[in-house]
Amino acid sequence: MLLNLFYRHFFLMATTFEWHIANMEHYTANGIVFTVHYTIGANDGTYSSSAYGSIGLEKPDPSVMVPYADLTEELVVGWVKQHFGDEKVAEIEAALQQQLDQQHAPTVAPGLPWAS
């Protein structure tokens, strides 16, 4: 276990986290987005892990509303992260990192001892 952590620390690349928008639901009459479906991918160069979720959005203030056609993935990812807040974003990414760590050094395994 200690050797595995040493190897991971010195020889593996840092984990990258990528947030993407999988889909959105909006009203056709006014373009207001009310649901965002997102994915988060984590990759450390050897293993990968991901998560999927959806959030509901409040109706935006008309004075700052971005027209539907002008929305970008970067902007909407920002909405998702703002919805969660920095602490929850860090918690989600930490959970994905734990999944990667489990792949490098499993602490649980399936199996039946009598079926080998």
**Between the CA of residue 40 and those of 6, 16, 56, 97, what are the distances in Å?**
27, 10, 17, 11
Is the pLDDT score of 81 beyond 60?
A: yes
Average pLDDT across the chain, whole number: 91
The DSSP code sequence of 66-116 is PPGGG--HHHHHHHHHHHH-HHHHHHHHHHHHHHHHHHHS-S-----GGG-
Show me where the domains of the chain are located: 2-107
Binned at pLDDT 50, 70 and 90, residue 83 comes out as very high
Which backbone phi and psi does 77 adopt, to 5 degrees? -60, -40
Mean pLDDT in residue range 20-48: 97
Distance CA 116, CA 114 (A): 6
Separation of CA 51 from chain center: 5
| Entry pTM | 0.82
Report the candidate in 104, 84, 103 with the shortest Cα–Cα distance to residue 93. Answer: 84
